[in-house]
Chains A and B, each alone.
Chain A
Amino acid sequence: MPASARLADDYALEIRKSGAREKVFVHQITAKKQLSPNVTRLDVVAPRIAQVRRPGQFVIVHRTEGAERIPLTIADADASAGTITLVIQAVGKSTRELVGMKVGEAIQDITGPLGRPTELPEGGRALCVGGGVGTAVVHPIAQGLRQKGVEVVSVIGGRSREWVIFEEELGKLGRVVVCTDDGSYGRHGFVTDAVKELLAQERFDVVYAVGPVPMMRAVASLTKPLGVHTIVSLNPIMIDGTGMCGGCRVSVGGQTRFACVDGPEFDGHAVDFDLLMDRLSTYRPFEAEALRRFEEECKIGLGR
């Protein structure tokens, strides 16, 4: 019997009494850690997802009634503890509210695992490139590659030392090259500079790049002339995550694809990054307004 069906029996009586919307899993936050000035790691109870998730997959998180549904990559999972790890960059109201939650509090709805798992080669050498919060997305890919016996070299970066995340975790899976924009740690410069050098010196069978759109575009343009297969993970606006809304449509090789069901990973040489950037900006005035109101409420003590 699926774990959730068993749980459903336990809750059935309660549901019958209250007539309320059932909560089969209580997605409690079991651990919380600030990874960089605006990136937070949450470990959340989601036993089934922890059990079946594969590299590259994501969940949709709906914090509470009235909140947005937001897609977040599963950065890690502990099947025995029944938890998944979410790494969240707090940029707008919804993500700030999410990272404002305390250990012991529960997220109302988590759906997943969604998206197609990463295509992992059997053997060879892979270069994993992570920029900012994208580094957390690279981590499960690197894990999957290691399990397949692929040799992994990671290049990760941030503005300065305090913005570098997942260095230790990726270090367990292979060599890590750290870059900082200001030179305060590791190599001075962008990840793309390090990637260019590595590609010139070493042979890689495949490159995975996850991070800000300009970074993924830059990496893809470096690998294209070399003919190195490059996979990028896209983060368009999404509602249901099951193919129903079409909001996450992206153009790949001139064809419209849905990131939630056809992706989120695509051939970096075929993605229309300009369109992705452009569509990501659709709700900018709304996001600014929501954040302004949120910050005002925080100031006068109404918010969390």
Chain B
Amino acid sequence: MGWAVENAILNKMNSDTAHQTPAVPPALAEGGAQVPSKPLTARERMKIQRQPMPEQPAEERTRNFAEVNLGLPERIAMVEAERCLQCKDAKCVSGCPVQVDIPRFIQHVAQGNLAAAAECLLNDNALPAITGRVCPQETQCEVRCIRGAKGLPVAIGYLERFVADWAYRNLDLTPAKPPVPSGRKVAIVGAGPAGLTAAGELIKHGHDVTVFEALHRPGGVLVYGIPEFRLPKRIVDEEVNRLKAAGVKIECNVVIGRTYTIDELRRNFDAIFIANGAGLPVFMNVPGENAKGVYSANEYLTRVNLMAAYKFPEADTPVLHGRRVAVVGGGNVAMDAARTAKRMGAEHSIIVYRRTRSEMPARAEEVHHAEQEGIEFEFLVAPVEVLHDEKNWVTGLRCQRMKLGEPDASGRPRPVPIPGSEFEIPCDMVIVAVGTRANPLLTQTCPDLKLDKRGQIVVDENLMTSIPGVFAGGDIIRGAATVILAMGDGKLAAQKISEYLARKAVTA
């Protein structure tokens, strides 16, 4: 969407909600994107309220797959950037899994020096257009922002996205001078967030990097899982193309563990980074789960996102259209599935979660957007059976009410069933989004790789596995987590791999 359109929408939104327009100090109010003649005082900065993200109206966006958030216009981004107090000991940075120098890039934005902001951001974060959209800022950087103590934190995520998007439109991000080749070859297993981040870092060190991807398109969860309305595929393609332009080789349709084994890779590469994700969907293990109309969230989202089933019959892959859809789970994947079902025409799309709203692991913004879009919520409810008709089509979900008990291993209160509380949620589709576990494809064919009892790969503090030179990161070591944690692993692994290769050079 062009700037003109975005501005038009923003203006409309602002005029609709004129009484809510956040206060802007006089120095910034007039004359568009201008740097104030003299730096604002702390008092002036404190007066600026958090700038809202322009978004597609809920009633419109539930009928399309276009992005919900439209991005901050430059003028608004500069206003928001002025809210940052430039803390000496910036707590926000320590909350960031990839340690972005947040105050510095924001300062560049405030000064209108967007090229410098982009350079600063990209130096720390290989995929800022993605993290600016999907990171749980409210539990990482923004939660530590000093401004949150009194009012709302600086909108770090919005600003990150703004700078990244600006950079793609305005800068040539191809490195001018390729680094000196190290003569070392590194193989990366999986072109998801961890693998792509590691690839971007390793290529900077001059290594020869090849990424092996099992699917026909690179991106991992960014293309099969996260829907277009939250992360447009175009953004992922841009990031991937940037890596390729820097020299990263990406080979799709290669399943490590089947097409090649880790042992074969070891014979041909100096180091390996395994980032193949936690691919295997977990089901609820209740009767009726194999009825027609029960999907894993992975399957439902893959059909709609990667295979574009929303365009059927223009695209060949079909997907069932539920009129009443029950989505089991409370994470981002559950929100994505429920909001996708709504866009696919569901009259009712219902989140069924066994704890309460405050324990939901989903990003605050996703829950907020889901509510705006009319997604319904059944809290403190757990499914006990999928009901179906004589032809085995789903007709409902038999559930049981829960209450919160003592905290469990995760520190969250354990849901305890209330006897005799069973009831039915009528529905014609059930989407199971209760998590994923380690995919055994790779590990089965590599017996030397030490695994924990959940089948996840065991690594040391350098992310090295039990096999020297073989590193691992992302969901395959930590179980289903977030894009940014996977990226943090990718960044750390790249550093440790480079150190390992340098050590090897010395001893060799």
Let me know if A2 and B303 touch, CB within 8 A.
no
Q: For window 226-261 of chain A, which residues contact chain B by CB distance below 8 Å?
A: 239-240, 242-247, 249, 251, 256, 258, 261
**Which residues in B have their C-beta under 8 angstroms from that of A261?**
280, 439-441
A111 to B47, CA, bound (A): 58
Check A21–B255 contact: CB distance below 8 A: no
- Closest chain A CB from B46 CB (angstroms): 46
CB atoms of A2 and B302 under 8 A apart: no
- In the complex, the answer to whether A242 meets B439 with C-beta atoms within 8 Å is yes
Proximity string of chain A (273-288) to chain B, C-beta cutoff 8 Å, 1 when within and 0 when not: 0010011011100110
Q: In the complex, which residues of chain B have a beta carbon less than 8 angstroms from the beta carbon of A290? A: 312-313, 316, 318
Taking a contact as CB atoms closer than 8 A, the residue among A5, A25, A62, A242 that contacts B268 in the complex is: A5
A22 contacts B by Cβ under 8 Å: yes
Q: Is the CB of A5 within 8 A of B315?
A: no
Does any Cβ of A come within 8 Å of B33's Cβ?
no
Looking at B216, B311, B314, B315, which has the most chain A CB atoms within 10 Å of its CB? B216
Q: A49 to B247: give the CA distance in the assembly, Å.
A: 26
In the assembled complex, A16 has its CB within 8 A of some CB on chain B: yes
Q: Please measure, in the bound complex, the distance between the C-alpha atom of A258 and the C-alpha atom of B292, giving whole angstroms.
A: 16
Chain A residues near B302 (CB-CB < 8 A): 239-240, 244-245
A112 touches B255 (CB 8 A): yes
| A275-B290 in contact (CB<8A) | yes
- Chain B hits for A5, CB < 8 A: 210, 249, 251, 268
Shortest C-beta distance, B289 to chain A (Å), equals 7
Flag if A68 contacts B259 (CB, 8 Å).
no
Task: Check if B251 sits within 8 Å of A4, measured CB to CB.
Answer: yes
Query: A294's closest neighbor in chain B, by CB?
Result: B313
Q: Write out the residue numbers on chain A whose beta carbons fall within 8 Å of the beta carbon of B216.
A: 62, 69, 108-109, 111
Total contacting residues, chain A, CB less than 8 A: 55
Give A289 to B279 CA distance when docked, in angstroms.
Answer: 32
Shortest distance in angstroms between B268's beta carbon and chain A's nearest beta carbon? 5
In the assembly, what is the distance between CA of A110 and CA of B255, in Å?
A: 11
Q: How far is the CB of A262 from chain B (nearest CB, A)?
A: 9
> Is A48 on the interface with B (CB-CB < 8 A)?
yes
Are B217 and A21 neighbours in the complex by a CB distance under 8 Å?
Answer: yes
**B316 near A66: Cβ-Cβ < 8 Å:** yes
**Contact A68 B215, CB 8 Å, known A242-B279, A246-B296, A275-B290:** no
Q: Which residues of A contact B245 (CB under 8 A)?
A: 16, 19
Interface string of A110-149 (1 = CB under 8 A from B): 1111100000000000000000000000000000000000
Q: How far apart sit A52 and B217, CA to CA, in the bound complex (Å)?
A: 23
In whole angstroms, how far apart are the Cα atoms of A278 and B307 in the complex?
Answer: 23
Q: Is the CB of A245 within 8 A of B296?
A: yes
Residues of chain A within 8 A (CB-CB) of B307 are 68-69, 239
Of the residues B252, B316, B318, contact of A22 by C-beta under 8 Å:
B252
Report A's interface with B, CB cutoff 8 A: 1-2, 4-5, 8-9, 12, 15-16, 19, 21-22, 24-25, 48-49, 52, 62, 66-69, 93-94, 108-114, 239-240, 242-247, 249, 251, 256, 258, 261, 275, 278-279, 281-283, 286-287, 289-290, 293
